């Protein structure tokens, strides 16, 4: 037969098992801690990479939009069919300045005469309305002529 367990041998065996179990638990805790630290590092790296990717995507989209706008402007200038935004702004500003200078004497005359002739009330709004209507008609005529020539 084999050796028999005694209280002392059982106590020694349990103490050895407890020490081994404690070593195992400590090693397991250390590994879990290392894994968690590495997970946190990886998460920070991922967050940084995501933010960088978003910023690059924004910059890329802005660049693409600017290039598209520039190409559209260039194409519109080359074809000559449409006025660009800057062209329209220049024309409106020039017309506004010229109309103010040209119509000033007429407006002053009308306002002086307004009290004398009740039947013909000509206001600034009406004058600009007539000029606008005339401009629209001229624009339509020129557009039709341009397409008729082609």
**Tokens in use for 13?**
């065996």
Contact 114, 121 (CB under 8 A): yes
**Tokens in use for 62?**
């802005």
Distance CA 126, CA 107 (A): 11
**Tokens in use for 12?**
């020694």
Distance CA 18, CA 149 (A): 103
**pLDDT digit string (tens) for 110-132?**
677 665 555 556 677 777 888 88
**Domain stop point among 82, 103, 135:** 82
Same domain, 89 and 71: no
Same domain, 71 and 93: no
Of 36-40, 45-49, 73-77, 129-133, the least confident = 73-77
74 burial level (CB within 10 Å; 0-12, 13-18, 19+): exposed
**Domain stop point among 82, 117, 141:** 82
**Domain stop point among 54, 82, 110:** 82
Same domain, 88 and 64: no
Same domain, 5 and 74: yes
* Domain encompassing residue 124: 83-150
Same domain, 73 and 99: no
Same domain, 77 and 94: no
Same domain, 34 and 52: yes
How many domains are there within the chain?
A: 2
**pLDDT digit string (tens) for 74-96?**
877 777 666 666 766 777 777 77
Same domain, 51 and 18: yes
Contact 127, 107 (CB under 8 A): yes
Same domain, 43 and 65: yes
Residue for token pair 């624009």: 139
**pLDDT digit string (tens) for 14-35?**
999 999 999 999 999 999 999 9
């Amino acid at each position: 037969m084999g050796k028999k367990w005694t209280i002392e041998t059982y106590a020694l065996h349990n103490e050895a098992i407890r020490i081994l179990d404690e070593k195992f638990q400590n090693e397991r805790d250390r590994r879990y801690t290392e894994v968690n630290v590495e997970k946190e590092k990886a998460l920070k790296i991922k967050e940084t990479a995501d933010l960088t990717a978003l910023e690059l995507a924004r910059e890329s989209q802005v660049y693409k939009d600017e290039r598209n706008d520039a190409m559209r402007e260039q194409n519109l200038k080359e074809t000559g069919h449409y006025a660009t935004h800057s062209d329209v702004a220049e024309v409106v500003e020039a017309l506004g300045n010229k109309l103010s200078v040209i119509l000033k004497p007429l407006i002053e005359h009308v306002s002086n005469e307004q009290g004398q002739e009740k039947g013909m009330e000509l206001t600034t709004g009406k004058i600009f309305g007539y000029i606008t209507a005339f401009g629209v008609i001229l624009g339509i005529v020129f557009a039709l002529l341009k397409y008729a020539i082609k």
